[in-house]
């Protein structure tokens, strides 16, 4: 009788533990509202009513959340699973984009997955998943005013939202353009200075050559005058002698 009682308690404990384990098998990071290393307890299940997961307050979670940077709308996230098998799937099967970054309007289409996770991984761990925002997407939310919210769901039904920023790429492009302009300006200034120096040098050479030519002409003129004066003196001496 006592053994049967213990067996019943064991079955009850097992039954109670199963829902807890099912609470979280995979999370996509950097997850909205999660700081530091993600834990099983951070995992949520998105739904049409709560795209970022049940119980997630998007407005309050935005301030302390980190965004991934998108380059030409391409970005990458990390999927970490806490169980093997399909429940711990790292494969993204659906997504939706909220260009406003507020969590109020996931009407921006779906992200295109260009590198996916594993449908039923044998072990736990983390994988990189690459995705691209829909063409023509303009993100206007987040802490930088240039972020979208993307809701991801895995094959196991778990998932969450991730902030994706277009701001870093734009700023980087602006910085690169400014740098190129500055470099071009520096090169132009250097070229102008070199040309001016060369011109001045050539002018100096021209002036020196001109002075040399003038000196030669003067020397020839003086020589001619001396020869004429000498000839005149000789002629005069002949006249007096006659």
The number of beta carbons lying within 10 Å of the beta carbon of residue 30 is: 19
Phi-psi region of 142 (alpha: psi -120 to 50; beta: other; left: phi over 0): left
- Reference 46, options 26, 60, 16; nearest CA is 26
State whether the Cα torsion 62-63-65-69 is positive or negative: positive
- Distance, in Å, from the CA atom of 127 to the CA atom of 36, rounded to the nearest integer, reads 17
How far apart (Å, rounded) are the C-alpha atoms in residues 205 and 201? 6
- The one-digit pLDDT tens for each residue of the chain (242 residues) are 445 544 554 444 444 444 434 456 999 999 999 999 999 999 999 999 999 999 999 999 998 899 999 999 999 999 999 999 999 999 999 999 999 999 999 999 999 999 999 999 999 999 999 999 999 999 999 999 999 999 999 999 999 999 999 997 444 444 444 444 444 554 455 555 566 656 666 555 555 555 566 666 766 766 666 665 665 455 444 443 44
In three-state secondary structure terms, 158 is coil
Look at the pTM and tell me if it is higher than 0.75.
no
């Amino acid at each position: 009788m006592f053994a049967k009682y213990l067996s019943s308690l064991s079955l009850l404990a097992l039954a109670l533990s199963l829902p807890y384990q099912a609470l979280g098998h995979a999370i996509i990071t950097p997850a909205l509202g999660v700081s530091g290393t993600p834990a099983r307890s951070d995992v949520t299940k998105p739904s049409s009513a709560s795209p970022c997961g049940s119980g997630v307050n998007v407005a309050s979670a935005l301030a302390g959340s980190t965004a991934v940077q998108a380059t030409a709308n391409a970005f990458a996230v990390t999927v970490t699973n806490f169980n093997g098998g399909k429940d711990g799937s790292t494969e993204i099967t659906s997504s939706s984009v909220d260009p406003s970054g507020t969590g109020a309007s996931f009407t921006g289409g779906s992200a295109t997955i260009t590198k996916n996770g594993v449908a039923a991984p044998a072990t736990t761990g983390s994988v990189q998943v690459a995705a691209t925002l829909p063409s023509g997407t303009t993100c206007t939310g987040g802490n930088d005013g240039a972020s979208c919210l993307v809701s991801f769901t895995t094959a196991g039904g778990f998932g969450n939202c991730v902030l994706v920023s277009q701001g870093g790429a734009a700023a980087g492009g602006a910085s690169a353009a400014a740098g190129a302009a500055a470099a071009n300006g520096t090169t132009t200034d250097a070229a102008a200075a070199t040309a001016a120096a060369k011109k001045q040098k050539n002018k100096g050479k021209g002036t020196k050559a001109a002075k040399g030519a003038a000196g030669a002409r003067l020397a020839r003129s003086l020589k001619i005058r001396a020869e004429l004066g000498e000839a005149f003196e000789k002629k005069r001496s002949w006249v007096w002698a006659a």
